[in-house]
């Protein structure tokens, strides 16, 4: 995820910016840059690759000055490249901007500014901001930024410098985190506390809709409308490692809690302004090509494969196209029937998984069009696929995948709706209802997260067992497969996920007194049948923990403990019901004293077959 650092003071800003950016490296990035006000005006140096590449450039030609902004970019709009790196400037090179987040209406702003004579050089949404501010500037940078922000839609944190007012650094926050560090005769901005911790422990945490104007003498906080705000300084007593995890004990927990944001960012500009339909500008397929699709193959590994299982139901139910889902390591060895009318969807958080990449190549060799759903813009999968839907979950650092999985689900919902719109398999009212329910998901996840203590209690019981079962039917079955994988990989407890109706064909023999069974029962049309299966395991002594939808009263009567998730459309429940299962495995792993973020024998990215 992108990182921002800014400095105004009396020291060499270049060094402070680079050191600050190094502290943000853990967030992941693919390019970096700085802008410094020097005796020759505002100067920018930026480059694709690691910070060391930028450092070499700056070593050859240092930027000497005491005010500057810096950025590490994790590509979203446009590939990783020198030109797409931040900071971005306007054509006069008098304004410079660093930005985290997404400007949803950047295309219309770009068209408007282009018509006014602005020339754009990058593929980014950010470049629009520097041009917009330049176009609105009339001698007051604070006012120009305020006016610019009223024109921008999306989520963003900004650092802005202009050569015309070289003692001021302007910072803005709208849904993307930004903090202000307060020092003696010097002040800082950072997208994250570690960036400034070496220099000060006194910070202001900006809230959404707030901005700050930093000079050497002090910091003014105000709303985006210009009303001044007074706020107590927050003293940070975290060490650097805790700060990297934003105060969470582990990256996995932080990433579980980042899911509402990941959902919002992944939906972002892909839902049109009316909130009733999906816009997928990144899909290059024409309506005729979409209509020619005869079947879909979804191919992936591990957690991404589990997202693909849900994706199958989503596409089949919304677009009525037959879908097969395959584990990537099996796909190309089973001689799959791939034709030019097959759409192959590869799903990969990292975009570098060897088996998934090999499946993609096999599909292309056979003439199929390939759509990638990935979290990493410049990854191999993204580069080799014909179309790419990026999941804007931000970098996932814990080995156990959480926010990447749920963002992949969101990508499938968006793509399924897009197919339905194009093929006319669902009417406008139905699509509008699903889009509206999708937009309610982030708040519903927040509601589940607020009850994490309940799940923690269950996880502590589970952690004392060596075997357990997960059961469910329909979409619930696919979600429990993911729950079981998560528990295995980080708690090392053996578990099996079973289609609830399949137990009695053999596995029921393993149910004995006291064994935990986690039962998911969120699918209304399958509810009664799932309850029957729960009774089968209860009758053999299992201790059943049930997950159901709020408002449903029957499950509590047949299980030992229940947890309710907010109600939503049946097709969307996986995006909610997986969250308690993620928390369950996290807390079980914690209770067993395991290394949650780095489980034994596993790597984050599997680049070998
Ligand atoms: O980067 P990818 O999504 O292609 O990775 C696929 C799997 O290796 C990955 O999902 C793995 O199963 C996770 N560690 C599970 O949490």
Distance 33 CA to ligand 1 centre (A): 31
pLDDT at 192: 83
Contact 481, 306 (CB under 8 A): yes
Residue of 94, 277, 529, 604 marked catalytic: 604
> Per the structure block, which two tokens stand in for 345?
């969807």
Q: Which two tokens stand for residue 466?
A: 């060596």
Residue spans of the domains in the chain: they are 3-244, 254-444, 451-591
Q: Which atom of ligand 1 is nearest to the CA of 300?
A: 4
Residue 432 clears pLDDT 90, i.e. is over it: yes
Region 539-567: what's the mean pLDDT? 96
Q: Ligand 1 in contact with 353 (CB < 6 A)? A: yes
Query: Does residue 582 have its Cβ closer than 6 Å to ligand 1?
Result: no
In words, the CATH class of domain 254-444 is alpha beta
In sequence order, the β-bridge partners of residue 545 are: 518, 561
For the domain with range 3-244, which CATH number is right: 3.60.20.10, 2.20.25.90, 3.40.50.300, 3.40.50.10950? 3.60.20.10
Q: In this predicted structure, which of 73-77, 469-473, 556-560 has the lowest mean pLDDT?
A: 73-77
Q: Is the pLDDT of residue 175 over 80?
A: no
**pLDDT for residue 458 is more than 90:** yes
Shortest-distance atom of ligand 1 to CA 303 = 10
- Report yes or no: 102 and 269 within 8 Å, Cβ to Cβ: yes
What number is the average pLDDT over the span 456-461?
A: 96
Helix (H, G, I), strand (E, B) or coil at 306: helix
Residue 236 has pLDDT above 90, yes or no: no
pLDDT for the residue 155: 80
390 band by pLDDT with thresholds 50, 70 and 90? very high
Q: What share of the chain is helix, strand, coil (3-state, %, to 5)?
A: 40, 25, 35
Give the number of the atom of ligand 1 that is nearest the alpha carbon of residue 302.
12
Tally of CB atoms within 10 A around 237: 7
pLDDT at 433 over 70: yes
* 300 or 396, greater pLDDT: 300
Report the pLDDT value the prediction gives residue 609, as an integer from 0 to 100.
66
pLDDT tens per residue, range 128-154 = 999 999 999 999 999 999 999 999 998
pLDDT of 237 over the 80 cut: no
Centre of ligand 1 from the C-alpha of residue 374, in Å = 11
Q: How far is ligand 1, taken at its centre, from the CA of residue 349, in Å?
A: 7
- Rounded CA Rg of the chain: 25
Distance from Cα 300 to the centre of ligand 1, integer Å: 9
Task: Indicate if 23 belongs to the active site.
Answer: no
> Any catalytic annotation for residue 301?
no
Average pLDDT value over all residues in the chain: 94
Rounded mean pLDDT, 212-224: 97
Task: Tell me the pLDDT band of 126, cut-offs 50, 70 and 90.
Answer: very high
Same fold yes or no, 3-244 and 254-444: no
Is 35 touching ligand 1 by the criterion CB < 6 Å? no
pLDDT tier for residue 243 given thresholds of 50, 70 and 90: confident
Q: Are strands 67-73 and 88-89 parallel, antiparallel or unpaired?
A: unpaired
Q: How far is CA 321 from CA 77, 209, 291, 419, 583, in A?
A: 30, 44, 10, 9, 34
Judge whether residue 441 has pLDDT over 90.
yes
Instruction: Say yes or no: domain 451-591 is CATH 3.10.310.30.
Output: no
> Which runs of consecutive H residues, i.e. helices, occur in 106-153?
106-115, 126-136, 141-151
The tens digit of pLDDT for each residue in 17-67 reads 999 999 888 777 889 999 999 999 999 999 999 899 999 999 989 999 999
Q: pTM to 2 decimals?
A: 0.78
Q: DSSP of 436-492, one letter per residue?
A: HHHHHHHHHHHHHHTTHHHHHHHHHHHTT-SEEEEEESTHHHHHHHHHHHHHHHHH-
Contact 562, 546 (CB under 8 A): yes
Q: Would you state the structure tokens that stand for residue 444, as one six-digit string?
A: 């519903």
Q: pLDDT band for position 608 (50/70/90)?
A: low
Q: What is the pLDDT of residue 1?
A: 63
Residue 303 pLDDT level (bands cut at 50, 70, 90): very high
Place of tokens 């619930």: 476
What confidence tens digit (pLDDT) does each residue in 477-525 have? 999 999 999 999 999 999 999 999 999 999 999 999 999 999 999 999 9
Start-to-end Cα distance in the chain:
28
């Amino acid at each position: 995820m992108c990182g921002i650092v800014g400095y105004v003071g009396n020291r060499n800003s270049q060094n402070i910016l680079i050191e600050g950016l190094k502290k943000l490296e853990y967030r992941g990035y693919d390019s970096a840059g700085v802008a410094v006000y020097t005796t020759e005006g505002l100067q920018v140096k930026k480059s694709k690759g690691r910070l060391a590449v930028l450092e070499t450039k700056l070593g050859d030609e240092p930027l000497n000055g005491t005010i500057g902004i810096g950025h590490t970019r994790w590509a979203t709009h446009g590939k990783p490249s020198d030109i797409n790196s931040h900071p971005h400037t306007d054509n006069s090179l008098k304004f410079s901007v660093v930005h985290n987040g997404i400007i949803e209406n950047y295309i219309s702003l770009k068209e408007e500014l282009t018509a006014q004579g602005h020339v754009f050089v990058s593929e980014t949404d950010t470049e629009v901001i520097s041009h917009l501010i330049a176009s609105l500037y009339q001698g007051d940078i604070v006012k120009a930024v305020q006016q610019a922000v009223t024109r921008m839609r999306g989520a963003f944190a900004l650092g802005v410098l202009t050569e015309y007012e070289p003692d001021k650094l302007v910072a803005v926050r709208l849904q993307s985190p930004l903090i202000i560090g307060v020092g003696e005769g010097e002040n800082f901005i950072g997208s994250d506390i570690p960036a400034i911790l070496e220099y000060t422990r006194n910070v202001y945490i900006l809230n959404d809709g707030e901005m700050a104007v930093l000079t050497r003498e002090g910091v003014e906080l105000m709303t985006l409308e210009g009303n001044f705000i007074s706020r107590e300084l927050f003293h940070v007593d975290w060490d650097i490692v805790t700060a990297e995890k934003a105060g969470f004990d582990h990256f996995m927990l932080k990433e579980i809690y980042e899911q509402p944001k990941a959902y919002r960012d992944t939906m972002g500009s892909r839902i049109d302004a009316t909130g009733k339909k999906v816009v997928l500008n990144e899909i290059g397929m024409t309506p005729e090509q979409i209509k020619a699709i005869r079947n879909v193959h979804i191919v992936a590994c591990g957690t991404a494969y589990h997202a693909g299982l849900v994706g199958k139901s989503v596409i089949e139910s919304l677009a009525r196209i037959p879908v097969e889902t395959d584990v990537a390591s099996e796909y190309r060895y089973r001689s799959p029937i791939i034709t030019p009318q097959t759409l192959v969807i590869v799903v990969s958080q990292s975009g570098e998984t060897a088996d998934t990449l090999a499946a993609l190549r096999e599909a292309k060799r056979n003439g199929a069009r390939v759509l990638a759903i990935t979290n990493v813009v410049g990854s191999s999968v993204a580069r080799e696929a014909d179309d790419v839907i990026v999941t804007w979950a931000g970098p996932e650092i814990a080995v156990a995948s959480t926010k990447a999985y749920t963002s992949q689900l969101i990508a499938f919902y968006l793509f399924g709706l897009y197919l339905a719109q194009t093929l006319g398999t669902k009417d406008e009212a139905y699509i509008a209802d699903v889009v509206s329910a999708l937009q309610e998901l982030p708040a519903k996840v927040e509601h589940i997260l607020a009850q994490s203590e309940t799940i923690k209690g269950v996880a502590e019981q589970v952690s004392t067992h060596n075997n357990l079962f997960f059961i469910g039917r329909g979409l619930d079955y696919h979600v429990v497969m993911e729950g079981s994988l998560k528990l295995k990989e980080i708690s090392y407890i053996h578990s099996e996920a079973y289609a609830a109706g399949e137990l009695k064909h053999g596995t029921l023999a393993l149910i004995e007194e006291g064994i935990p069974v986690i039962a998911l029962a969120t699918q209304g049309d399958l509810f009664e049948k799932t309850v029957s299966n729960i009774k089968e395991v209860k009758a053999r002594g299992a201790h059943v923990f049930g997950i159901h939808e709020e408002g449903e009263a029957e499950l509590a009567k047949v299980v030992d403990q229940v947890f309710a998730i907010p109600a939503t459309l049946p097709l969307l429940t996986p995006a909610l019901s997986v969250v308690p299962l993620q928390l369950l495995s996290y807390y079980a792993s914690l209770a067993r004293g395991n290394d949650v973020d780095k489980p034994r024998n596993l790597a984050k990215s599997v680049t070998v077959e």
